Structure 1
Amino acid sequence: MSLRRTVLVVAALNAVWFFVQMSVALAIGSVSLLADGVDYLEDTAVNLLIAVALGWSLTNRSRMGKVMAFVILVPALIAAWQAFTKFRDPFEPDTTIMLLAAVGSVIVNGLCAWFLVHHRRGGGSMTKAAWLAARNDVIINIAIIAMALLTMAVGSGWPDLVLGVIILVINLGAAKEVWEAATEENLAAKAEAGETGCGC
């Protein structure tokens, strides 16, 4: 499968599971699932940017990147609000549903990592970063499964809340990274335009 088709498939998988996981997380009140859901939108954005980078100009890539950075912030703010409100009453979420969602996440991220592994060396730094992100997401999903089992054992919502805050802090840097990447593209576009303008 070509690189463009691969990243589009990975982006589609992440986009679909983003809506699934966010819906489940909001329904059962799981902060960790909600925070992890933000990561799916980040991965969607990154893989779309890779696909775009294969055909769009630097300027257009920069603009899209900045739009994606703002898009990522929306679910992150929702997750932050959920964590804040749950500090008052850290109730135990439905651990059975949480386990099923986490297992589904392992499958989705495992598929994404498998698709990207064939391009991690020849697809450039962004493609390698996307593969590493998918691989690391599997580890986070396994942590959520372990936390769900701990929550079930102790009968408290604190494990879910603590893990959710940790994941949220990690993923809040996603919007910043996408914005910085878009800014670099913009600077590169200006440099390219400057070179063209001077006839060098």
Structure 2
Amino acid sequence: MAAGCCSGGCSSSKPPVDKTYRRILWAALAINAGMFLVELVAGAAAGSVALQADAMDFLGDAANYAISLLVLGMALQWRARAALIKGVSLGAVGLWVAGQTAWNAIYQTVPQAEVMGIVGALALAANVGCALMLYFYRHGDANRQSVWICSRNDAIANLAVLAAAVGVFGTGTGWPDIIVAAIMAVLSVSGAIQIIRQAWAELRFIPTPAAAE
């Protein structure tokens, strides 16, 4: 019966809550929310689409950490559904970044390289810190994997933002900023596809109550 299945560890049972992981998620949520505000203001002031794109990533990650905290300890089906929502939101961020990148490419906006470098370095430190905290929790269900993928992608993106700042400073054009923003858009969409695929696979193989009886 269903009760017997769950007592044996079926996929719909609730996992034990890892208190250390919960604290890490709260810390990552605070860091990402703070960096979203910093990069949003700095990106607008500097005219950098790469910084604005990274700010949207921070916002998306803050929301993802909040969702992960909400479903932490819930049954697999709820964690998989949360991962599915996060995958869709990450893909939406990627498409928004692609649109902003195209806009800046058309109007040839030249951002302030100094601001990009300073804020990019701060964002890199924040994302590397989050990625290191989450590294040992990168395996598991789709929800947990989605948290790691977002943190990993952001650390990579910040390295690219710093490279863009150097490129803008050296060339005096906005093309390095545009190229990096395009790469960030691809990272977001590819990460979203990976998350959605695993979440969908988990949802497909979760037994229904009728099947579990």
> 1:109 corresponds to which letter in structure 2?
N
Q: 1:188 to 1:105 in 2, by over 3 A?
A: same
1:166 aligned residue: 183
- Asked if structure 2 preserves the Cα contact closer than 8 Å seen for 1:41 and 1:72, the reply is no
Match of 1:143 in 2: 160
- Runs of 5+ in structure 2 lacking a partner? 1-18
Identity of aligned residues (%): 27
Contact 1:106–1:141 (8 Å) recurs in 2: yes
Q: Distance in 2 between matches of 1:182 and 1:97?
A: 38
Are 2:170 and 1:153 equivalent residues in the alignment? yes
Amino acid at match of 1:134: S
Q: Would the alpha carbon gap of residues 37 and 20 (structure 1) be closer, same or farther in structure 2, given more than 3 Å must change?
A: same
Q: Distance in 2 between matches of 1:64 and 1:130?
A: 11
How far residue 108 of structure 1 moved from its aligned partner, in angstroms, is: 0.5
Structure 1's 175 and 2: CA in aligned 2 closer, same or farther, altered over 3 A?
Answer: same
CA distance in 1, matches of 2:145, 2:195: 15
CA distance in 1, matches of 2:63, 2:177: 26
Cα distance in 1 for residues equivalent to 2:23 and 2:121: 26
Quote the offset at 1:52 in angstroms. Answer: 4.5
8 Å contact from structure 1 (residues 62, 185) kept in 2: yes
**Following TM superposition, by how much is the alpha carbon of 1:13 offset from its aligned partner in structure 2, in angstroms?**
1.8
- What is the TM-score of this pair, normalised by structure 2? 0.73
Cα 1:133–1:64, aligned 2, differ >3 Å: closer, same or farther? closer
Q: Distance in 2 between matches of 1:138 and 1:24?
A: 18
Q: Distance in 2 between matches of 1:42 and 1:171?
A: 10
**2:131 paired with 1:107:** no
Q: Does 1:193 align with 2:209?
A: yes
Match of 2:34 among 5, 16, 39: 16
* 1:88 equivalent in alignment to 2:133: no
d(CA) in 2 for partners of 1:10 and 1:132? Answer: 13
Q: Which moved more, 1:83-92 or 1:45-54?
A: 45-54
Worse overlay, 126-135 or 106-115: 126-135
Deviations 1:133-157 (A, max 9, x none): 5355434323321221221121111
Distance in 2 (CA, whole Å) between partners of 1:9 and 1:80 is 29
C-alpha deviation, 1:129, in angstroms: 6.7
Q: Per the alignment, do residues 11 and 193 of structure 1 end up closer, same or farther by CA in structure 2, a change over 3 Å counting?
A: farther
Q: Cα distance, 1:112 vs. partner? A: 0.8
* RMSD across aligned positions (CA): 3.0
Q: CA deviation at 1:105?
A: 0.7
CA distance in 1, matches of 2:198, 2:23: 22
The amino acid of 1:138's aligned partner reads A
- Name the CA distance, whole Å, in 1 between partners of 2:122 and 2:140: 29
